[in-house]
Structure 1
Amino acid sequence: MTVAPPSQSQRTGSDAWSDTKLLYALEEVVERELNRHLKAAKEWMPHEYVPWSDGRNFDGIMGGEAWSPEQSKVSDIGRIALVVNLLTEDNLPSYHHEIATLFGRDGAWGTWVHRWTAEEGRHAIAMRDYLLTTRAVDPVELERFRMQHMSEGFESDNAHSMLHTVAYVAFQELATRVSHRNTGHESGDPACDRMLARIATDENLHMVFYRNLLGAALELAPNQAMGAVRDVVVGFRMPGHGMPGFERAAARIAIGGIYNLRIHHDDVLLPVLRHLKVLEVSGLGPDGLKAQEELGFFMGELDAQACKFDERRAALLARRAARA
């Protein structure tokens, strides 16, 4: 990374970086990552992933057929996950406000914020068109959930600093990619799987941008960045946690193998931490060392919790299979 090396006081944590100073210092990295992203990103059209010929009128002013569960091609767990995933994507205006306020709308930062928002906007378009055209979910319930969720807005758990936000999105984008990909596999509908695979590709590119930016921050302000990573990993929640019925839906999604503690540990947290060698960073000051140690301890505890969850899940699935 071509960033200025931290001074001795910055490495020991005695001279903290302000958000403004960090934004300025990381501008070159943002510009380089933006250019890399634009070269890697491929144009795609949401309408091409929707089987429009499956569509027909719903009941209401068009006098069509009311929705019923048996019309859906996707599995029960897939249907739950699709609603959660779409409602998460729907809150894009709130997410844009959060990162635009922190990162600004000028220069490379601003260009990235708007590009990211534009790419994310395609996800909700494709997913909603697919869900309604194929009658995968109850359209009335979906719209009522959307209104409730968006009316409540979104307030980040990670508003401590811009470093907390960068750390959060590095993990969250990968979590979203994994959730979309696993939902597609679970859905049972090739068209759904294909659409979510395309969306997951976008999410992966976004993760790489933020992961590389976090890597630069760890070089520039290692103690502050380590503290931010520790805070985010320990307190991580998906951005859709405030949606109606989220806890119940998350429990069913976990049992269904779409997103749970094991997946969160193995497929989301570990890949980012290992790629950036977070637990191997040396030369930290007291605060950075403490954060690094607490992060390592937490990951061990989370792995143990995931093992217990795996055992309970296996027992539950075995009982269900026996009853079937």
Structure 2
Amino acid sequence: MTMTFTQLDLLRELEPTVEANLNRHLSMTKNWNPHDYVPWDEGRNFAEMGGVDWDPDQSRLSELAKVAMITNLLTEDNLPSYHREIAASFSLDGAWGTWVNRWTAEENRHGIVMRDYLVVTRAVDPVQLEQYRMEHLTNGLDSPLNAAFLPSVAYVTFQELATRLSHRNTGHACADDVAERMLDRIAADENLHMVFYRTLAGAAMDLVPDAALEAITDVLLNFQMPGQSMPGFRRNAVLLAKYGIYDLRQHLDDVVMPVLRIWNVFERNDFTDAGERARDRLAAHLDDLRRAAERFEESRDRMLAREAARAE
């Protein structure tokens, strides 16, 4: 017999799961200080304070690393929008509110440390970076989730894992020990956040299998990274995919499939016809993703081969 739950019912039923996993998270997370990951001895004044303003020659990062760092930072910068969305989806009562505020505080460190690193090391143009930040936060987040709990918890599960992967790959691209250490620290946070949301979504699926899988399927069919509204996002996303920071194959093999396996989506037998239809839609989408990833890889390999030939 399939039980029907309102959103309020789900929040009440899942609050013990939230509390238990909040305690687990607090026992596993490492409290760290952004200032410990920034090479402050490289800092110097800009012209307004009697120093020298930024010049491209001052940066030690490649163009790829700069684009990746800016994209990741602007994604973190939009935290006010994410807090609003998650608070509306999860509520601020009891353990829910404790988690939402704790998550927000942890995420805020990511933007702080990345901006400090970029400004102190003069890795990017700080004036342009601030212009991008203002534009991105003014645009806000145009979320299609409508503060609904099930699609929201599904989305943040995949998004946190995707962000973890992007940060780690960006750290490698920087070819800078300080940047890599900093981004590995951020990625570790993102992984713990993903585990929290993945566990919560799994518990929701046990309560309402059909509705949960329908939400997961809809999220994956329409998945977009949260930086869509930032300046130059599409152009930057193409560059990041081209050079392996985050591409379709990684999205499928390293983000989507590991989570679906944890949830046993294709092994469960507790779906009704509605859930089975959602599972069929999801399977078809995954097949489409595999084909698209193969086409992209073939095209990318040809493009990179041409670039290598021209460089000889």
Is TM (by shorter chain) over 0.5? yes
* 1:288-307 to 2 correspondences below 5 Å: 288-307=275-294
Whether the aligned pair in 1 keeps the contact of 2:85 and 2:147 (CA below 8 Å) is no
Tell me if 1:55 matches 2:43.
Answer: yes
- 2:95 corresponds to which of 108, 131, 135: 108
State the distance in 2 between where 1:74 and 1:157 align: 35
* 1:278-289 to 2 correspondences below 5 Å: 278-289=265-276
The match for 2:196 is 209
State the distance in 2 between where 1:243 and 1:301 align: 27
So what's the TM-score if we normalise by structure 1? 0.94
Deviation at 1:66, TM superposition (A): 2.1
The match for 1:9 is 2
Deviation at 1:105, TM superposition (A): 1.1
Q: Which runs of 5+ in 1 are unaligned?
A: 1-7
**% identical aligned pairs:** 55
Whether the aligned pair in 2 keeps the contact of 1:27 and 1:108 (CA below 8 Å) is yes
So what's the TM-score if we normalise by structure 2? 0.98
The match for 1:314 is 301
* 1:217-296 to 2 correspondences below 5 Å: 217-296=204-283
- Structure 2: which amino acid aligns with 1:49? Y
Q: Secondary structure at the match of 1:278?
A: coil
* 1:148-227 to 2 correspondences below 5 Å: 148-159=135-146, 161-227=148-214
State the distance in 2 between where 1:246 and 1:177 align: 18
State the distance in 2 between where 1:278 and 1:140 align: 47
- Deviation by residue 1:202-260 (Cα, 9 ceiling, x = unmatched): 00000000000111011000000000000011100001111111000111111111001
State the distance in 1 between where 2:213 and 2:276 align: 8
State the distance in 2 between where 1:109 and 1:133 align: 37
State the distance in 2 between where 1:189 and 1:9 align: 54
Q: Which runs of 5+ in 2 are unaligned?
A: none
The match for 2:20 is 32
How big is the alpha-carbon RMSD for the aligned residues of Structure 1 and Structure 2? 0.9
Deviation at 1:300, TM superposition (A): 1.2
Deviation at 1:75, TM superposition (A): 1.4
Tell me if 1:82 matches 2:69.
Answer: yes
Deviation at 1:157, TM superposition (A): 2.2
Q: Secondary structure at the match of 1:282?
A: coil
- Deviation by residue 1:150-186 (Cα, 9 ceiling, x = unmatched): 0111122222620000000000000000000000001
State the distance in 2 between where 1:271 and 1:72 align: 37
Aligned positions, number = 311
Deviation at 1:134, TM superposition (A): 0.4
Q: Secondary structure at the match of 2:49?
A: coil
